[in-house]
Amino acid sequence: MAERDPAWKVLPKPSHPHDSARLHVSGEARYADDLGEPADMLHLAFGQSTEARARVASMDLAAVRAAPGVVAVFTAADIPGANDVSPVAGDDRLLADGEVICHGQSLFLVAATSQRAARIAARLGKVEYEPLPAAITIADAQAAEAHIEPVQRMSRGDAPGALAVAPHRLAGAFEMGGQDHFYLEGQVAVATPGEDGQIHVLSSTQHPSEVQHLIAHMLHLSSADVTVEVRRMGGAFGGKETQAALFAGAAALVAHRTGRPAKFRCDRDDDMVMTGKRHEFEVRYDVGFDDAGLLTALSLHLASRCGATVDLSPAINDRAMFHADNCYFLPNVDVVSERLKTNTVSATAFRGFGGPQGMLAIERVIDHVAAHLGLDPLDVRVANLYGPGRDTTPYEMVVADNIAPQIIARLRNTARYDERSRAVEAFNAASPVLKKGIALTPVKFGISFTTTHLNQAGALVHVYADGSIQVNHGGTEMGQGLYVKVAQVVADVFCVPLDAVRITATRTDKVPNTSATAASSGADLNGMAAYNAATAIRERLVAFLARTYGCGEEGVHFTPAGVLVGAETLTFGQVARKAHLGRISLSSTGYYATPGIDYDRTVFKGRPFYYFAYGASVSEVVIDTLTGESRVLAVDILHDVGRSLNPMVDKGQIEGGFLQGQGWLTTEELVFDAKGRLLTHSPATYKIPTASDRAKHFTIALWDGENVEPTINRSKAVGEPPFMLANSVFSALNRAIAATVPGKRAIPPLDAPATPEKILKALSSYRGIGHKATP
């Protein structure tokens, strides 16, 4: 049998443009809302709750039904099957049934001849409520003892005992806010009824299989009767992993009940009010350490606002706990995670999936220790890194691929960290109003779904008789470049140009039972599944050619110049035609399941991740001490993507992830009032980063290594890890504030996001009473 020619897996890959780049620039890329609408299309809108928690005493929808353009109005009573659009717990309702649990919750559904008509009518419902006690904040939920699940604990060693004898001990607390996904394409779904009760749904979702299954249960259909399709999304960031099911379910219900196609294109304000956000966290810590800043004990308490339903909060908070070590060895540690149920829109997946909150907590601890000892925070970071004899996480996973020390050392040198730190000190000494700060922070991010069964993928590859290739897989394209990466994998297997491979929309009737495109695992899982499918076809072709030409299989080689068979060279098209005439199957499925994952959630022990992705960043910032305004002046990044499948696509992900993280930590502030109403529900009040927020000096370099695990091309995931590189911005802001009182050995009480108001508050407090430290 011919060798599989595996060398392609370890060779550097060229940077191909994103498969839709030309279409994006020309405006030809078609999204769900761009498709032509049939004359009988219905447009949808929800009637929403105006209370955070209440019993629905009565609901008069006569005015809604009589409104111009309205064709039908639906309530929970009109759902033939399960009134459920939740991922796991069964507590997310398509339409509220008797009680509302957050402001903006969907009460009834309007189908009209236009979106405007539907939205106007949806506001005409007359609903009477019997208000119930509501928990809005984390403190409210703690007082009411309202949790989505029991408090979780992950421990190693004897944290209380080690704290009691620590040479130094500090306690502190801070808060970090949530974040809206603010994808450019809002939530949208188009449902079209088919014959014999079948239904097709075009959905902007990261999880087509979940949407398929939920719709089937809701309509009393089998999953085989529901097809969900996704060609591309205009951004998602986790916000379309579970949240898309609400809008797809509504469209499917209307199409099923009326026999007419139905579209739900959610208005931006409604989208922000009704869909989940990043989890808000409150952090408390008690840390023990020695004179060099080496941590000897840590007690860490993480409290998160999970919202009104469970959603994915257990897994998200678990990941926060897993990443509370970041790159640091914690010999005696006790991490407690409190998952609080509040009457606000349910928090959900967001890039990093709890990892950013856990990492920011430990970076704050490191900064506090450094400030107390009067040391450079980078030196304290380096002292606490994982290393020989200190290579096991609190959940007992060995850090076998630890390259954080080398990455930090190289970036410290190439970014001239020490030289620039001295320049920042000199600037601050001469500048009474503007103060600068600089910080270098690392990232160690675990790659895999922590829910083990989700670590699997399927693919379908067709080779046509003319030599063209079509590939389909369970991953979804949200702008991150997954499609072009998987196409490159298939093209490399056959040694054909990339333009010979046609990428097709993700569909549940082609590859079934798929996992969400999430956890940064899209290329790892789907790339390997596509590789297996393509390789199966190639092996059939090798055997066929060897038989046909009377040579051994070792004499058949796929090369960029053609397929070499003995002394002959054939084009790939000629091989495909001959194989078709020779009755050789040119189609194959492929499957891949991530190996080596073994984790027991009941004791928080095991190996939840296949490998870690690493990175580090240096950020230099300046603040105006009179206004609280801040600016990121310079960013230098060194990031580990293994042997990149597509270096330019990966660099784009790194830059975008960093900027999104910068937004979370500086400008993006979610504000709820005392009644649980979101006040920041439009671009007028919610500030995402813009091009002008990008540092003028911004460099990205890729680490020149490869994955120690046999992933596709020995590459590493790149979707989420870069988000946490922005932690260096927050640390630098802390140092800029601290520069207003030189020599003070305390950390400013800065919360995230570090808006001008919060910076001014921290400045005022820091210039007054500092943190108390126990010697």
Burial of 410 (0-12, 13-18, 19+ CB in 10 A): middle
- Crossing angle, helix 528-549 and helix 482-494, to 10 degrees? 20
In sequence order, the β-bridge partners of residue 434 are 624
The CA distances from residue 1 to 167, 422, 547, 558, in Å, are 66, 63, 11, 14
Antiparallel, parallel or unpaired: β 262-265 and 42-48: parallel
Q: What are phi and psi of 316, to 5 degrees?
A: -65, -45
Name the nearest CA neighbour of 279 among 249, 318, 244.
318
**Angle, CA of 596, 601 and 602, to the nearest 5°:** 135
**Angle, CA of 142, 144 and 145, to the nearest 5°:** 60
| 630 three-class SS | strand
Cα–Cα distance, 485 to 487 (Å, whole number):
5
Cα–Cα distance, 474 to 511 (Å, whole number):
6
| Tokens linked to 77 | 């009573």
Name the nearest CA neighbour of 394 among 152, 639, 728, 720.
152
**Angle, CA of 678, 316 and 338, to the nearest 5°:** 80
Active site annotation includes 720? yes
Cβ(109)–Cβ(257) below 8 Å: no
| 617 three-class SS | strand
The CA distances from residue 77 to 73, 83, 257, 660, in Å, are 11, 9, 13, 41
The CA distances from residue 164 to 167, 285, 296, 653, in Å, are 9, 14, 10, 44
Q: What are phi and psi of 269, to 5 degrees?
A: -60, -45
| 577 three-class SS | helix
In sequence order, the β-bridge partners of residue 286 are 171, 299
In sequence order, the β-bridge partners of residue 605 are 600
Element (H, E) at 46: strand 42-48
Cα–Cα distance, 362 to 367 (Å, whole number):
9
Name the nearest CA neighbour of 319 among 178, 450, 456.
450
Burial of 659 (0-12, 13-18, 19+ CB in 10 A): buried
Q: How many CB atoms lie within 10 A of CB 277?
A: 25
Q: Which of 210, 282, 477, 720 is catalytic?
A: 720
Cα–Cα distance, 277 to 258 (Å, whole number):
33
Which residues have a catalytic role annotated?
A: 720
